[in-house]
Each structure stands twice: as structure tokens, then as C-alpha cells.
């Protein structure tokens, strides 16, 4: 149907006007655009002789009314190859070539292989200037090999006791090494590049001989390893005294339909295994503190993996965890 006119509109018009003849019905339908116009051959041009004698030239043309004006069939008096309302097709009179437009600036040259090495590296999540200090604070172990602890010694002597060994202040060291546990589950895939950067930076900080990297998915007790997932085995804690740095979101960034996130009981079992081995665990997670669950904060110190992390915040988290253990 042309336009927005439908058969229902024709029915309403016929009901309102109540035409008496079929010609009136056809006219109404044509006005609504529902009937094809009738086409009649164009009348032959009148000769000058007929015009002079008042012949066909003076007679009303096709579609003309009795008074010489347009009649009801004037719309049909068109060329047989042209429907009413058709616009005649215009013919081109000339052709001009398209001239290129000058934009005033030159295009940039194409990138070659020598320039591909100049692509900037990924911006690390930790502030570059403080990243080394933050990592050292995270993985360092305190041992009683610092300066003499004078207040502790005075307290022993005040009780008239002979110290078995001189008390010393705790001294941080990296001699015990670090084990980096990297979560490569689905929620952590956006951080794969950051995880690689962290592994390289941690190896540089602690030393390659004191750094080991293991990969796991969702929770380490389901399996971990150094290579692809088919090569993973049951998780085994590192040597005694080694710091274990867990890089994971603990399922906090997983979508609601994700069914593989680690259960709190599995994480408690993991931390209990490390404590039996005499290893300390600390977590680095790309989740803001307002989303940390209470059960996770009781298991290990948590540090937010972003630009807000500082060595002072790491130290505060470690001390808070030490006080809770005492």
C-alpha cells in the first residue's frame, strides 16, 4: 500500500460519502491512492486547418468539462509511458572530472618494522618509583639479627635474669626467597600482561635463584605448576621460611555465573598448609579494600594492587596481621 493509506481508510471514506455509482467509488479510491489511474492515448495534435474551421482544436480535449475547464478525467490525460506524478528523467548535459581535494597537511608515513620496537610498554599497576620498595616490603622476612635490642635487654636485667642470648631487633631479609603464585583463571585474564611484568620485577628484586613462579586457577589446592595446565600437580608448599606471594582476585571479580571461584574453606586449607611448613603468605589483589570479604582478611595480609599501594601501607598491613596472630 502506498504511504500510510490502507483499505480501512477506503472503507471509512465510502461509509461517510456513500457513493451511488461505481465511477464515484473509483474516483474515491484513486484519490486515496488505492486505484491505478486509467491511461488513455494522448490526442493527436490538431492541424491549423482544423483550428481555422473550429474543428477538433476548438472541441473540448480529453478530460475537459463542458465549460472547457478540466473534467474528472483530466488526471488520466497523460502520456501512456508516464504515470501521474512521475518526474521526467533528466539527461546529463556535461561531465567534469573529479578533482582531488587538498587538505593542507601531508599524510603520516606508513609504519615500518624499525618503528615497531618503539611501542611503549604496558604501564605497571604499581608506581614505578616505589615498586621495588613495595615488593621488598611484601616478601621480606624479619629475623632477629638487627641491632641490639636495648629495651628488651634492660627488661631482662631488671628482673635479675641472665639472658641466654642477646636480644636483637628484627631485621628484614630476602635470603629465604619467595614463591609467586599467579592466578590465571578467567577473572584474572585482563591482568595477564601485568602478571608477567610483576614476575619479571619480582625476580629482579629477590634474585632469580631465590624466586620461583607457580600458576594456578581459582585456588592453589586444586593444582599448580610452572608450565601449562595439563602439567600441573597437587600443590606443594616451598621450603621452610619462604614467603608466598599470592596474586589473585579470590573470585571477587568473577561474573555471577562463574561457578569455579575458590571456596573460603579451600583458602583456609591452603593457608593452614603454609603455616605448618613455616611459610608466610601475603596477597596482592586488584580489588579495592571496600570489596574485601572479612574471611579473607583473617587469613593473610592483603595489599591492593594499584597505584595507591605504598611501602607504608604494606608495612601497616603486615603489622596488623602480626598483632592479630599474637
What the block records as the C-alpha cell of 165 is 642470648
- Is the CB of residue 255 less than 8 Å from the CB of residue 266? no
User: CA nearest 219: which of 190, 261, 274, 258?
Assistant: 261
pLDDT of residue 266: 95
Residues paired with 245 in a beta bridge: 180, 282
How many Cβ atoms are within 10 Å of 212's Cβ, its own excluded?
A: 18
Grid cell 613462579 is found at 213
Q: What does the alpha-carbon distance between residue 321 and residue 283 come to, in Å, rounded to a whole number?
A: 12
Integer Cα distance of 57 and 313 in angstroms: 106
Tell me the average confidence (pLDDT) per consecutive run of 10 residues in the chain, 326 residues long.
71 86 86 65 47 43 46 45 65 85 78 75 87 93 81 86 83 90 94 94 93 96 93 93 95 91 94 93 94 93 94 90 74
Angle at 144 between CA 138 and CA 150, to 5 degrees: 120
Indicate whether this model's pTM tops 0.75: no
Instruction: Determine the pLDDT at residue 161.
Output: 86
Residue 143 C-beta-side C-alpha neighbours within 13 Å: 10
- Read off the pLDDT of residues 150-209 as tens digits, 9 standing for 90 and up: 888 888 888 888 888 888 887 888 889 999 999 999 999 999 999 999 999 999 999 999
Distance of CA 52 to the CA centre of its chain: 86
Instruction: From 169, 179, 199, 314, select the one nearest 241 (Cα to Cα).
Output: 179
H-helix segments, 178-302: 192-206, 264-276, 294-297
Residue 212 pLDDT: 95
- Enclosing H/E stretch for 280: strand 280-285
Q: What is the pLDDT of residue 326?
A: 63
CA-based nearest residue to 183, from 95, 258, 249, 86: 249
Name the 3-class secondary structure at 233: strand
**Residue ranges of domains in the chain:** 1-40, 131-325
pLDDT digit string, tens, across residues 307-316:
999 999 999 9
Domain 131-325 has CATH 3.40.50: yes
User: How many CB atoms neighbour CB 54 within 10 A?
Assistant: 9
Amino acid at each position: 500500500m502506498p504511504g500510510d493509506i490502507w483499505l480501512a481508510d477506503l472503507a471509512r471514506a465510502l461509509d461517510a460519502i456513500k457513493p451511488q455509482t461505481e465511477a464515484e467509488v473509483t474516483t474515491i479510491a484513486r484519490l486515496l491512492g488505492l486505484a491505478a489511474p486509467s491511461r488513455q492515448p494522448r490526442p493527436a495534435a490538431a492541424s491549423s486547418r482544423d483550428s481555422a474551421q473550429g474543428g477538433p482544436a476548438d472541441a473540448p480535449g480529453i478530460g475537459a468539462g463542458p465549460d472547457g475547464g478540466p473534467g474528472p478525467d483530466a488526471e488520466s490525460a497523460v502520456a501512456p509511458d508516464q504515470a501521474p506524478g512521475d518526474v521526467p528523467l533528466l539527461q546529463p548535459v556535461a561531465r567534469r572530472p573529479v578533482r582531488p581535494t587538498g587538505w593542507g597537511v601531508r599524510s603520516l608515513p606508513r609504519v615500518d618494522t624499525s618503528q615497531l620496537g618503539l611501542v611503549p610498554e604496558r604501564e605497571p599497576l604499581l608506581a614505578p618509583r616505589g615498586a621495588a620498595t613495595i615488593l621488598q616490603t611484601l616478601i621480606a622476612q624479619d629475623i632477629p639479627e638487627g641491632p641490639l635490642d636495648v629495651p628488651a635487654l634492660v627488661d631482662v636485667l631488671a628482673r635479675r635474669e641472665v639472658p641466654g642470648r642477646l636480644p636483637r631487633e628484627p631485621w628484614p631479609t630476602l635470603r629465604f626467597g619467595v614463591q609467586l603464585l599467579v592466578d590465571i583463571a578467567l577473572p584474572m585474564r585482563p591482568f595477564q600482561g601485568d602478571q608477567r611484568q610483576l614476575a619479571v620485577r619480582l625476580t629482579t628484586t629477590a634474585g632469580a635463584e631465590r624466586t620461583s613462579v607457580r600458576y594456578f586457577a581459582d585456588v592453589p589446592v586444586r593444582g599448580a605448576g610452572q608450565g601449562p595446565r595439563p602439567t600441573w600437580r597437587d600443590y606443594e608448599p616451598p621450603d621452610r621460611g619462604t614467603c608466598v606471594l599470592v596474586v589473585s582476585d579470590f573470585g571477587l571479580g568473577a561474573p555471577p555465573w562463574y561457578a569455579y571461584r575458590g571456596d573460603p574453606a579451600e583458602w583456609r586449607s591452603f593457608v593452614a598448609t603454609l603455616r605448618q611448613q613455616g611459610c608466610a603468605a601475603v596477597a596482592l589483589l586488584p580489588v579495592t579494600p571496600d570489596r574485601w570479604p572479612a574471611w579473607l582478611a583473617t587469613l593473610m595480609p592483603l595489599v591492593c594492587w594499584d597505584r595507591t599501594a605504598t611501602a607504608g601501607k604494606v608495612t601497616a598491613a603486615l603489622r596488623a596481621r602480626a598483632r592479630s596472630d599474637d
